[in-house]
Amino acid sequence: MAGTDHSRAAVTGGPAVILVNPQLGENIGTAARAMLNCGLDDLRLVAPRDGWPNDKAVAAASGADSVLDRARLYPNVRAAVADLAHVYASTARDRYMVNRIVTAHRAAAEMRGFLAAGESCGVLFGPERTGLVNDDIALADTVLTVPLNPAFSSLNLAQAVLIVGYEWFAADDESAPETQHTGASRPANKAELFRFFDHFEEELLNSGFIRHPDKRPSMVRNLRNLFQRAHPTEQELRTLHGVVTAFMGPRARAKEGGEG
């Protein structure tokens, strides 16, 4: 089915989200919003209590209507998962059955692998207050848990969908470099940084803060380490040069080079 709906495959290629006997229309709507936050749009509804379509779902989905519009309806879980190769059943409580159990985080990594291999997958979420029944869990191959405070675990349906979807989305994270540099302020190279050190340390001497020009007291080295840790941009160094000059006046003799 994903093969014929190219727009869907192009949008997400993600796991199906299967809501089993969802009780409140609003919760279907908020679940749809949670899905779209995570780039998911294969929503499947198994016998929603208040029928389908549902105005309250539409109202609560606001902005995520596209997910509702494409939601598919099934009479039971078996029909809803028929086309899937891998199905996770989300549950918080111990079922006292012998299941393979993984965290949402692990499941996300597995699903990335499955989908890359062309094997479809989905996640079951049970009715809001009661959760999945054991018989439905037995229609899945793996139990998925969201590790949270055992003393107070009260995720609502949309939040459970959000966490599973979030882990899915984040599992593709090609983590970007940690420090954001805008176009105007590229990281300074070491020559530029050392030029700042030269200026700064010359004024540390002129001010009397340090007394021995030929030694690198540990205090000065510590300051170098501090500025290094900041990973200054070229623009920031220009600002720092300006601050030092404002504090101490122009340098006695302008240094053109100073890479040393």
Nearest 5°: phi and psi at 179?
A: -105, 125
Of the candidate spans 21-29, 71-79, 122-130, 205-213, the one that interacts with a second copy by CB under 8 A turns out to be 205-213
Instruction: Give the orientation angle of helix 234-248 with respect to helix 190-206, to 10 degrees.
Output: 10
Size of the site for a second copy (CB under 8 A): 70
Q: Is 146 a residue that touches a second copy (CB under 8 A)?
A: yes
Can you tell me the distance from the alpha carbon of 164 to that of 239, in angstroms, rounded to the nearest whole number?
A: 45
Of the candidate spans 44-52, 83-91, 120-128, 157-165, the one that interacts with a second copy by CB under 8 A turns out to be 157-165
In the shown chain, the binding pattern of residues 88 to 127 toward a second copy, with x for contact by CB under 8 A and - for none, equals ------x-xxxxxxxx-xx---------------------
Contact yes or no for 28/54 (Cβ under 8 A): yes
User: What SS3 state is found at 157?
Assistant: helix
Can you tell me the distance from the alpha carbon of 245 to that of 156, in angstroms, rounded to the nearest whole number?
A: 58
Which class for 22: exposed (0-12), middle (13-18), buried (19 or more C-beta within 10 A)? buried
Q: Is 232 a residue that touches a second copy (CB under 8 A)?
A: yes
Residues in region 38-57 near a second copy by CB under 8 A:
38-39
Can you tell me the distance from the alpha carbon of 139 to that of 95, in angstroms, rounded to the nearest whole number?
A: 14
- Interface contacts to a second copy, rule CB under 8 A: 33-34, 36-39, 63-64, 94, 96-103, 105-106, 143, 146-149, 151-155, 158-159, 162-163, 166, 169-170, 173, 175-176, 178-182, 185, 203-204, 207-209, 219, 222-223, 226-227, 229-233, 235-236, 239-240, 242-244, 246-248
